[in-house]
Amino acid sequence: MLDHHSKINKQSSAIFVVWLFHLSAIIGVSLGYVDFFVPKTYLNLSLMFGLLCWIYPILSFKKIVLTLVFFSVGFLVEYLGVHYGLLFGEYTYGENLGFKFKGVPLLIGVNWAMLILITGAISNALKIPVFFKIITGATLMVLLDVPMETVAPVFDYWTFAGNVAPLQNYVAWFIIAAFLHGIFQFTQLKGNLVFSKHLYVCQFIFFSYFYVYYHFL
């Protein structure tokens, strides 16, 4: 019983931090403190991943290896995109995602891994065939990418040639995400559904809010 309550308190604390940091950034940027909040994006992303490792949790050998696989694939496709214009189109990374290796922020690989893990947990909870779980997970990834792409150049995360993400970007996101979700399902990964839903919804609200803020307000 105590162990159960401890897990609930741990989960609640992590969810509170997720919402606190994202809502604080929304309010702060809206009030004009862009230069304070946006350059600290890499700290926020690092914290979110740390919370995921703690709550999901990523402790077993299988989860650690697969997280590294998701990170590596994500980083590799971004490297190919930045240096050769493959998959996503022509784009470059800005200065607000932390340390870059060969022009690609290491945290972008972390972001790929984190999104696969949380959307995998969400789609895995659905009572549908595995194929549709894979499609659902990939679709959730693309749905988040849509508002993210419109905010990215404003926050100096990355910028596409012509300042607009091409259709091939979303197609590539879906295909790569589906491939990684296939691995997720094949290896029967399990995670924390409640935390995953909160982190996904929080990020979706964050990017959707700024999409509306910068394009319609």
Global confidence as pTM: 0.95
The rounded mean pLDDT for the chain is 95
User: What pLDDT, on the 0 to 100 scale, is given for residue 194?
Assistant: 97
Cα three-residue angle 42-47-49, rounded to 5 degrees: 95
Segment-wise mean pLDDT, segments of 10 residues, the chain, 217 residues: 72 97 97 96 97 96 97 98 95 96 97 98 97 98 97 96 94 98 96 97 97 88
Q: 16 vs 27, 51, 89, 125, CA distance in Å? A: 16, 11, 37, 22
Domain ranges of the chain: 2-216
